[in-house]
Structure 1
């Protein structure tokens, strides 16, 4: 494989002696062969090899960070992998919605297409979203029904004069099914919130009555999940959701100190009384500035340390 700019691969058969060897691009090869070739390259070499081959108009990349070593003491080692549209992502603009079991849901910027992508295998499927001039405020999430072993995409949207509606798409059926009126609009799921067969988010449809909402992919229905007692609905953006271990969690900022927030864990899923304040993150003003709304817990490590992300 020629690693110079252009990365063309030459092929010559015995019958082609005396003739110019046929040249083809690396991306002309079967995907399985490309992935086999690239799998033998060190990660750093792979990025150097691919750097010059991306067209200038491609602006969307998917970066996946994996913890490869987390010792009881010392620095955590994280391995970064970048996936590009040229090899294994849609060759168009998209936004990351959420992920489930290693699969990723991407949404086209015009919200007329969504993509279910397996970035590691370099495969994705394109799902067309039903069109309608009256449809506005489209939002999506992706999940898995463990009972039927099926992946689904659900969307909420508004129809002028009819209110909020919902539809679900089951992979393999090639069709959307109406769920009728929807009690909630799908909100932002910045990190993993899939637990017990449902995706969770904070519903902002009522400014003074924000709730934790979810969609159950086994029963195809929306429902509400009790909020932790510390949460105050009037504080916009103060509640962040996630999963720590096998438990649903929520982080709430404190009123008495802007540089502290508590992490609540729901010990018994769905039971309001089981919310327990398990962690308090404090005295980190020397590390971060005042924009603490962008600090989220990612995971709890074995030695009790917590991995946080700040401003993404």
Structure 2
């Protein structure tokens, strides 16, 4: 191998699975330095982006939520069925009692829970590089963390963690006093309004920095997955706290501005706006058509252009076979009325299939051409009741590496 040109060696090794590459670090110092090479890191990442997305999965029913699994798709040339291979990841002692927030360019954003409450950590689960960020600003009982976002600011090549917290404002007016049933109990003053405070943690060369951008008149819905498109994070929002109107709001990681994005026309009295997702690099919206009992996926073909919203997929009712015994015993068929709020869209595969999650317990793929479903059996140590999942592209990237590819 030493006799081959370095360019050829890079091309050969960049095609290997990341687990194999990490094992090759122990060959010698030259190989270890090569794996840290900027050109090699970029080439390997670009090849990973071209493949089907993988995912990071965190088991949620363990006493200490500190274990992650890596899930990857595997298929045989002569078999149309796709399988998922899960691998237990080695964790650092620092990473105990955490919540999986999101993934970007192979880096995970983790938030501490319980005793580690407030801790935020950026972690590459394969290189095991990690950095602990300043804890969340101490907040009083009127504050609560609403949503967290994580992404790369391509203008500075620095990563940013966006924290949106809510501050309830109380005014002592009769209209906001909640009268208790028990006349001897104290009166409770209900919040008259909710303001959103936005904090930014910037991670790059040097020490992480935190800034407060002030208050904004938006109340964001809890987003289960990372929605990063065109260098902007996206959330579903109630402008000024009103639930009568749902909006899509973006946060530009470059200029750090909040902006309302045109939403699709699918939102009406018979459709419920459920979540946002990224499908093949496009911002997409998921809603429920109660009249036809279908889950609809609308895709914005041209970013920030309202007229480019197109209804791309309609998915009917389906019950995955991978359910707990007490739920399965009462069912005679895999087809029945399923609450659409239990289903979450994850991503689109190269085959065109849509990867979905059901009740944070099961994964399956919907084939829009054949209108069929394929279940996946996930294997772990024991049988978990539920999990948290984030779409992930395995990489050798770290916060000081310049990635010349779109954020994933």
Q: Structure 1 length as normaliser, TM-score?
A: 0.72
Other-structure match for 1:136: 143
Other-structure match for 1:230: 266
In the alignment, which of 49, 68, 79 is matched to residue 62 of structure 1?
A: 68
By how many angstroms is 1:186 displaced? 4.6
Cα RMSD for the two superposed structures: 3.0
Whether 2:234 is the aligned partner of 1:200: answer: yes
Alignment gaps of 5+ in structure 2: 1-21, 28-61, 170-193, 320-333, 361-408
In the alignment, which of 243, 247, 255 is matched to residue 211 of structure 1?
A: 247
By how many angstroms is 1:239 displaced? 2.0
Other-structure match for 1:32: none
Matched-pair contact (CA < 8 Å) for 2:152–2:160: yes
SS in structure 1 at match of 2:156: coil
Q: Any idea what the Cα deviations from partners look like across 1:239-274, whole Å, max 9, x if unmatched?
A: 22111112111121112122x122111011111111
Other-structure match for 1:77: 83
In the alignment, which of 262, 284, 302 is matched to residue 318 of structure 2?
A: 284
In the alignment, which of 330, 352, 360 is matched to residue 304 of structure 1?
A: 352
Structure 1 residues 194, 289: closer, same or farther in 2, change over 3 A?
Answer: same
By how many angstroms is 1:134 displaced? 6.1
Matched-pair contact (CA < 8 Å) for 2:69–2:89: yes
Alignment gaps of 5+ in structure 1: 1-34, 41-55
Other-structure match for 2:277: 242
Structure 1 residues 184, 104: closer, same or farther in 2, change over 3 A?
Answer: farther
Structure 1 residues 160, 59: closer, same or farther in 2, change over 3 A?
Answer: closer
SS in structure 1 at match of 2:161: strand
Whether 2:174 is the aligned partner of 1:164: answer: no
| Distance across 2 between alignment mates of 1:71 and 1:294 | 33
| Distance across 1 between alignment mates of 2:165 and 2:269 | 23
| Distance across 2 between alignment mates of 1:271 and 1:193 | 18
By how many angstroms is 1:194 displaced? 1.0
Structure 1 residues 192, 207: closer, same or farther in 2, change over 3 A?
Answer: same
By how many angstroms is 1:213 displaced? 1.8
| Distance across 2 between alignment mates of 1:227 and 1:167 | 26
By how many angstroms is 1:230 displaced? 0.9
| Distance across 2 between alignment mates of 1:70 and 1:94 | 36
By how many angstroms is 1:151 displaced? 0.1
| Distance across 2 between alignment mates of 1:253 and 1:81 | 34
Q: Any idea what the Cα deviations from partners look like across 1:185-233, whole Å, max 9, x if unmatched?
A: 4543323411100121212443222222221111112122222111238
In the alignment, which of 249, 267, 283 is matched to residue 301 of structure 2?
A: 267
Q: Kindly indicate whether structure 1 or structure 2 has the higher relative contact order, using CA contacts under 8 Å at least 6 residues apart.
A: 2
Whether 2:165 is the aligned partner of 1:152: answer: no
Matched-pair contact (CA < 8 Å) for 2:223–2:275: no
By how many angstroms is 1:159 displaced? 4.0
How many pairs are equivalent?
259
Matched-pair contact (CA < 8 Å) for 2:148–2:163: yes
Q: Any idea what the Cα deviations from partners look like across 1:8-39, whole Å, max 9, x if unmatched?
A: xxxxxxxxxxxxxxxxxxxxxxxxxxx74999
Q: Any idea what the Cα deviations from partners look like across 1:48-106, whole Å, max 9, x if unmatched?
A: xxxxxxxx95333223322233869621122212335xx33744312122211111111
In the alignment, which of 183, 204, 210 is matched to residue 176 of structure 1?
A: 210
Structure 1 residues 292, 57: closer, same or farther in 2, change over 3 A?
Answer: closer
In the alignment, which of 177, 183, 191 is matched to residue 225 of structure 2?
A: 191
